[in-house]
């Protein structure tokens, strides 16, 4: 059955007449059923660590829309928490973490071998999903890429320009690289455990890759991705891996070949025509409708969806947004997008 799953076929390099479709953050606050389940859990982290409820919110958009893939409901900051960082969420403002600004902070982190005690509920969520998802639906696991996770661990929160991480990189390169090394090792083990639990594909989210320039992009976005992908494929031959170096611009060119990724996910700062000519030539691409269309809807959504499908129609393509769907999105617009992607399906 796995060979028949559309997303796995696209990841293997097959050009399909109708692209498979899923959506970043498809389980989330724009859905009333998600909000109800989160209220039942009590708070966001309690939801992440409750396997039954995390599986439920992962399944909700599959039941509602019939996406071709379900992505595990979790958060990229569970890894730093498992490494010993304090993590909490401030309502309306987002995550907060204890910071790493000096060697003493780093020395408090746990060894990678200890992370699974915290993360075991996530693996149980994957096991539940691998049993309960429809047979045609691909189960995607994920983690944050080392640079992006490091930006939160160093600053203690999301920042507009990742300034604190850049400052540590420039002022104390050995400490900065030690942080990335610990995250890289943890990410390999974390994703490997997701695969063992039943994930059929994994995705590496480097949400802040675009703030790395030149040699820094190569060293701290591309090289860690290459290392993680190589390690996972050595442990799990044939596992497909999607890489998302968001806002990489020209850094998207050659990223798949350089890292071994089976698919490169694209943000909407690049046009599909440019990406087809420069990125899809190396294999599968994923993307890249602006998430704002999920709010505004209408003919513009239909036109841009058709435009993207057509632009990528000559090679392997997974339809998705250029970034995660936002809480103010209209669920009806999601259905319109799906119907438009699938309008010519035979």
SS (H, E, C) the chain: CHHHCHHHHHHCCCCCCCCCECCCCCCCCCCHHHHHHHHHHCCHHHHHCCHHHHHHHHHHHHHHHCCCEEECCCCCCHHHHHCCCCEEEECCCEEEECCCCCHHHHHCCCCHHHCHHHHHHHHHHHHHHHHHCCCCCEEEEEEECHHHHHHHHHHCCCCCCCHHHHHHHHHCHHHHHHHHHHHHHHHHHHHHHHHHHCCCEEEEEECCHHHCCCHHHHHHHHHHHHHHHHHHHHHCCCCCEEEEECCCHHHHCCHHHHHCCCEEECCCCCCHHHHHHHCHHHCEEEEEECCCHHHHCHHHHHHHHHHHHHHCCCCCEEEEECCCCCCCCCHHHHHHHHHHHCCCCC
State yes or no: is 246 an active-site residue: no
State the catalytic residue, choosing from 9, 25, 182, 227: 25
State yes or no: is 38 an active-site residue: yes
Which pLDDT does position 173 carry in this prediction? 98
State yes or no: is 75 an active-site residue: yes
The CATH class of the 2-341 domain is alpha beta
Q: What is the pTM of this model?
A: 0.97
pLDDT in tens, the chain (346 residues): 445 899 999 999 999 999 999 999 999 999 999 999 999 999 999 999 999 999 999 999 999 999 999 999 999 999 999 999 999 998 888 999 999 999 999 999 999 999 999 999 999 999 999 999 999 999 999 999 999 999 999 999 999 999 999 999 999 999 999 999 999 999 999 999 999 999 999 999 999 999 999 999 999 999 999 999 999 999 999 999 999 999 999 999 999 999 999 999 999 999 999 999 999 999 999 999 999 999 999 999 999 999 999 999 999 999 999 999 999 999 999 999 999 999 966 4
Which pLDDT does position 3 carry in this prediction? 56
Which pLDDT does position 345 carry in this prediction? 63
State the catalytic residue, choosing from 9, 49, 75, 262: 75
State the catalytic residue, choosing from 30, 123, 152, 190: 152
State the catalytic residue, choosing from 29, 35, 64, 96: 29
State yes or no: is 25 an active-site residue: yes
State yes or no: is 64 an active-site residue: no
């Amino acid at each position: 059955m796995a060979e028949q799953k559309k997303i796995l076929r696209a990841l293997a390099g097959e050009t399909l007449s109708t692209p498979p479709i899923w959506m970043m953050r498809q389980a989330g606050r724009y859905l009333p059923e998600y909000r109800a389940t989160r209220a039942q859990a009590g708070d966001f982290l309690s939801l992440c660590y409750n396997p039954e409820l995390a599986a439920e919110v992962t399944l909700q958009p599959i039941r509602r829309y019939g996406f071709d893939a379900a992505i595990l409901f979790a958060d990229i900051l569970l890894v730093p928490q498992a490494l010993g960082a304090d993590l909490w969420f401030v309502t309306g403002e987002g995550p907060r973490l204890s910071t790493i600004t000096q060697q003493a902070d780093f020395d408090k982190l746990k060894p990678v071998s200890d992370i699974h005690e915290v993360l075991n509920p996530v693996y149980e969520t994957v096991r539940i999903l691998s049993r309960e998802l429809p047979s045609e639906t691909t189960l995607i696991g994920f983690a944050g890429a080392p640079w992006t996770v490091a930006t939160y661990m160093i600053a203690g929160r999301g920042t507009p320009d990742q300034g604190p991480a850049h400052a540590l990189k420039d002022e104390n390169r050995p400490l900065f690289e030690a942080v990335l090394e610990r995250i890289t090792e943890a990410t390999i083990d974390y994703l490997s455990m997701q695969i063992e639990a039943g994930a059929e594909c994994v995705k590496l989210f480097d949400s802040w890759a675009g703030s790395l320039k030149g040699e820094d992009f190569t060293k701290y976005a591309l090289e860690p991705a290459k290392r993680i992908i190589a390690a996972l494929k050595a442990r799990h031959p044939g596992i497909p891996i999607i890489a998302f170096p968001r806002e990489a611009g020209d850094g998207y060119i050659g990223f798949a070949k350089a890292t071994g990724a089976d698919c490169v996910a694209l943000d909407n700062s690049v046009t599909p025509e440019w990406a087809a000519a420069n990125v899809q030539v190396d294999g599968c691409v994923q993307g890249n409708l602006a998430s704002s269309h999920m709010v505004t809807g209408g003919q513009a959504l239909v036109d841009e969806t058709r435009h993207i499908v057509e632009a990528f129609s000559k090679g392997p393509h997974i339809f998705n947004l250029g970034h995660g769907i936002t809480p103010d999105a209209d669920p009806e617009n999601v259905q319109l997008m799906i119907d438009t992607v699938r309008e010519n399906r035979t």
